[in-house]
Amino acid sequence: MSQQDNFKDIISHCKEYGYVFPSSEIYDGLAAVYDYGPNGVELKNNIKNYWWKAMVHVNENVVGIDSAIFMNPKIWKASGHVDNFNDPLIDNKDSKKRYRADVLIEDHVAKYEAKIAKDVEKGKNRFGDQFDVEQFLATNPNVLRNQAKIDEINQRFKICMDNEDLAGIKALIVDLEIADPESGSKNWTDVRQFNLMFSTQMSSVADDAGKLFLRPETAQGIFVNFLNVQKTSRQKVPFGIAQIGKAFRNEIVARQFIFRMKEFEQMEMQFFVRPGTEMEWYEHWKEKRINWHKSLGFDANNYRFHDHIKLAHYANAAADIEFNFPFGFKEVEGIHSRTDFDLGRHEEHSGKKLRYFDPELNESYVPYVVETSIGLDRMFLLVLSSSYQVEQLEQDGKTSERVVLKIPSFLAPVQLAILPLVKRDGLAEKAMAIFEDLKYHFNCQYDEKDAIGRRYRRQDAIGTPYCITIDHDSLNDDSLTVRYRDSMEQKRIKISELVDEMKKELSVENILKQL
């Protein structure tokens, strides 16, 4: 099955099993806006919870806030978003389709990267353990030729972006003979800048005085609260402030399902440090964050760092954590060293001091900031696309297929399914009594409809890690069967031991300790 087909299957699975629905569907939807269904909201909450625990609860020097979406519009002038938060757009004159010029170039570069990856794969298959990837990358003529092209394009692109040379970007697209991915046409307009912020009105009078912006990042709510939080939480630099919340961007080229949305959620943390120590902290948070990702147990080869060539207007170093989504390696999280840009600009524009008095140095300064910023919806897509598996099963000489979401158990929307083997003979009543007890400890589902095999498949499809089956023996020996989603193995345990056993299975404590 091609990656594209697999991705289509994941999208329909999300809809069929209550994970993600197109927004406003009965009115034909709204481009790049999605709603989360009953299972989706549980998974989303569990991801948020895991992030919050790992960032706020485990680190004594990180505290949380929840700032408002509406903010004084001067904030966006100070932060540079009014003037700089633009995407370079280009239209195809024949197809009338609009694209981000930088994305067209990045996708072109990705083709050379894919060629290199394919050559490496071939080498591995041919030479097995003898294959030295580093040496191959440094010497193979095909790889060197493709890498030289990548470097040349990236260098030209960086110069254009640094100088805001829109004509240069257009020339690069023309020189590389980049065609409209849909129509194949190379008939392009000029490139122009487009601001990504949505605006709205606060007062009833439609003039510029009441104009507000929907925040394009949660970070500014943290910056403007820096002193409030530092003083009330009695934190000393270095310390961090974390926040989870909605952000809005008028993404013109919205695509790839929930990967690029107009309304999405971010989980951000700004870590305030002494000037001059930011690179140390930048490396520290890069390592912490990649460990957090890898703790989920998905294939480690699907993650990589990508250092930014073009730095945002506020950063002196930046890297993305990229994940191998069904449509290739793409950013899921950014780690940015933002210098003292934001606090400095807010001091300037508000006229209020945003300084920290460092008792050890006996001086005041504007702290530098290292930020970690992850998109919750992208993380959701990462979890779902890594968990989705179609397995061929052999049983009693018959072949069957099961679709299973192998979501890490502590993130699964439904943790336990309580299933009486049959409805009669008092099994349903017994199972319901167990469900009534368990629902205070776990997110449980009770299901008595259809044959047990079909119910297992239904639970596999939504990713329930443990099915609890109550059978006739349960009536006599107060035991039941736990069926494990991934191995499909079954284990008999005492009803009295069930809660403790499941708490152990679903605990995140040991995972958090290893981060």
- Asked if residues 274 and 367 have their Cβ atoms less than 8 Å apart, the reply is yes
Q: How far apart are CA 116 and CA 127, in angstroms?
A: 16
Three-state secondary-structure class, residue 183: coil
200 class by beta-carbon count within 10 Å (0-12 exposed, 13-18 middle, 19+ buried): exposed
Site for ligand GAP, residues 308 to 327, rule: CB under 6 A: none
Nearest residue (CB) to ligand GAP, 79 versus 235: 79
Give me the helix-helix angle, 166-175 and 101-127, nearest 10°.
40
Which range in 61-69, 117-125, 226-234, 264-272 contacts ligand GAP by CB under 6 A? 264-272
Least separation in angstroms between CB 224 and ligand GAP: 14
* Cα angle 414, 418, 421; round to 5: 140
Site for ligand GAP, residues 368 to 427, rule: CB under 6 A: 371, 373-375, 377-378
Site for ligand GAP, residues 207 to 226, rule: CB under 6 A: 217, 219
* Residue reference for tokens 């709510």: 221
Distance (Å) of CA 510 to CA 262, 410, 483: 36, 12, 23
Nearest residue (CB) to ligand GAP, 104 versus 261: 261
357 class by beta-carbon count within 10 Å (0-12 exposed, 13-18 middle, 19+ buried): exposed
The DSSP annotation for 373-403 comes to: EEEHHHHHHHHHHHHEEEEEEEETTEEEEEE
Least separation in angstroms between CB 470 and ligand GAP: 43
Least separation in angstroms between CB 312 and ligand GAP: 8
Size of the site for ligand GAP (CB under 6 A): 19
| Residue (of 218, 510, 258) closest to 379 by Cα position | 258
The dihedral region occupied by 359, where left means phi > 0, alpha psi between -120 and 50, and beta the remainder, is alpha
* 332 in contact with ligand GAP (CB under 6 A): yes
Nearest residue (CB) to ligand GAP, 247 versus 444: 247
Nearest residue (CB) to ligand GAP, 37 versus 334: 334
Which range in 130-138, 226-234, 263-271, 359-367 contacts ligand GAP by CB under 6 A? 263-271
* The binder of ligand GAP chosen from 44, 156, 249, 346 (CB under 6 A): 249
Quote the tokens at residue 425.
């003979």
* 333 in contact with ligand GAP (CB under 6 A): yes
* 268 in contact with ligand GAP (CB under 6 A): yes
Element (H, E) at 193: strand 192-195
Which range in 90-98, 257-265, 383-391, 438-446 contacts ligand GAP by CB under 6 A? 257-265
* 256 in contact with ligand GAP (CB under 6 A): no
Nearest residue (CB) to ligand GAP, 116 versus 374: 374
Centre a 10 Å sphere on the Cβ of residue 317 and count the other Cβ atoms it contains.
18
Nearest residue (CB) to ligand GAP, 331 versus 505: 331
* 260 in contact with ligand GAP (CB under 6 A): yes
Nearest residue (CB) to ligand GAP, 170 versus 249: 249
- Cβ neighbors of 32 (< 8 A, separation 6 or more) are 251, 254, 255, 260, 261, 262
* 266 in contact with ligand GAP (CB under 6 A): yes
Nearest residue (CB) to ligand GAP, 373 versus 385: 373
Nearest residue (CB) to ligand GAP, 218 versus 464: 218
* 334 in contact with ligand GAP (CB under 6 A): yes
Phi, psi for 126 (deg, rounded to 5): -75, -45
Which range in 178-186, 201-209, 259-267, 473-481 contacts ligand GAP by CB under 6 A? 259-267
* 345 in contact with ligand GAP (CB under 6 A): no
- Alpha helical stretches, state H, 98-183: 101-127, 133-139, 141-162, 166-175
Least separation in angstroms between CB 268 and ligand GAP: 6
* 346 in contact with ligand GAP (CB under 6 A): no
Centre a 10 Å sphere on the Cβ of residue 428 and count the other Cβ atoms it contains.
16
For ligand GAP, the binding residues (CB under 6 A) are 217, 219, 249, 251, 260-261, 264, 266, 268, 331-334, 371, 373-375, 377-378
